[in-house]
Structure 1
Amino acid sequence: MTCPPPDAQAVLAFWFDPAHHDEWYASNPAFDALIRERFMAQVDLAAADKLTDWPDTPSGWLALLIVLDQFSRNLYRHDPRAWAQDVRAQQLALSGIEEGFDRQLPAFQRVFAYMPLEHAEDIGLQQRSVALFEALCREAPDRFRSFLDYARRHEAVIACFGRFPHRNAVLGRVSTPDELAYLAERGTGF
């Protein structure tokens, strides 16, 4: 198997550095600044569809998914650009899964191969996400149970509203009364 490009390897080394695991789902301006400093060029290139050689290998494919799906969220919090690459990331995730790239990755890395589907405002992709996380959870229930729980929670929101209400204000969408009631509940949003 050929190696992914060095920039893709750098993305994976950075993202999966154990020192960064606690930052994955936190809002930390210092961590976001570090991503901006180290990887803004790759984010811009990915957005311009210029990293065409990255998805030639499973590791490169995963690195591109992280840039499109995760780094965009870190760099553009509270900005529509946070979700601007979602459709591309979802298409890329599906094509790599179809190729079996996910099965060639360590189980823990597969979480981020499936995450773009969990971020989709599409019930079919949500259902696919849950199925993939269920399979991952069967491999190591204690390790992946929380990831499956989050996938199911995302699916439930899309099943109910057809979109993520917590994105409405940033995207200029008008929230329905039901969405406003949901958003008023403690612990909602992702």
Structure 2
Amino acid sequence: MTALALQNRVLSFWFHGTFDKVAAGTPLVFRMEWFQRSDELDRQIRDNFQADLEQVVEKGQYVQELRGSPKGVLSLIILMDQFSRNIYRNSPLAFKADPKALTLAKLAVTKKWDLELHPIERTFAYMPFEHSEAMEDQKVAVQKFTEMAKANPSIEALKMGHDYAIKHLEVIEKFGRFPHRNQVLGRTSTEEELKYLADGGGF
């Protein structure tokens, strides 16, 4: 399989039908399965992309070719930042590729490649910032989602993305980390974090 073939497989799977609906005049919305747990989606991604993810993360296969274009970088980010969470749900491995995905997100922003993407695609290009436990990355996430929402006021979904970015920043501001990851990562929760989790905190 070529790098371009992997790029097309990832993007076609993740966004399938989204832009066709937009072209037909349907209001742009986030697909529920993008942000809500689905055992069936997890299975599909595991069956179709786990081997690819392992090749990319462990061996760096396809990375050099794909990191040279906006769509290529986006496909790598989705593979490492999104698909990893589906494939390795409830495992520390879900977060293993986050640093690599964040490096690519920073590359996209530095080169302004993010601005060449559709707003829905940009949403996922910015996710590594939102998933980071570093405050400086959270600030970038809020900045980028704010810019998108202001530039596209008619796309209600982007307002939701902006609101979630702020919620992520507020959690890092309060705890310095995401408490809902503590159990999976073997971290001991503080009393304040336990109360937050008991009250339904988390994403």
TM-score tier after normalising by the smaller chain length: over 0.9
Structure 2 match to 1:151: 165
Counterpart Cα distance in 2 of 1:28 and 1:87: 25
Question: Are residues 1:22 and 2:22 paired?
Answer: no
Counterpart Cα distance in 2 of 1:166 and 1:108: 26
Counterpart Cα distance in 1 of 2:48 and 2:123: 23
Q: How many residues align?
A: 186
Which residues in structure 2 correspond to 1:1-190 (within 5 Å)? 5-18=4-17, 21-48=31-58, 49-52=60-63, 53-141=65-153, 142-186=156-200, 188-190=201-203
Q: How far 1:97 moved relative to its partner?
A: 0.9
Counterpart Cα distance in 1 of 2:34 and 2:17: 11
Matched position secondary structure for 1:5: helix
Counterpart Cα distance in 1 of 2:187 and 2:70: 36
Q: How far 1:51 moved relative to its partner?
A: 2.1
Matched position secondary structure for 1:173: coil
Matched position secondary structure for 1:155: helix
Counterpart Cα distance in 1 of 2:184 and 2:45: 22
Counterpart Cα distance in 2 of 1:170 and 1:50: 28
Moved over 4 A (4+): none
TM-score by structure 2 length? 0.88
Cα deviation code 1:107-153 (max 9, x no counterpart): 11100000110000000000010000000001223231000000000
Q: Which runs of 5+ in 1 are unaligned?
A: none
Counterpart Cα distance in 1 of 2:76 and 2:31: 18
Counterpart Cα distance in 2 of 1:155 and 1:18: 31
| Bigger mean CA offset, 52-61 vs 126-135 | 52-61
Identity of aligned residues (%): 39
Matched position secondary structure for 2:90: coil
Matched position secondary structure for 2:93: helix
Q: Which runs of 5+ in 2 are unaligned?
A: 19-29
Counterpart Cα distance in 1 of 2:177 and 2:157: 28
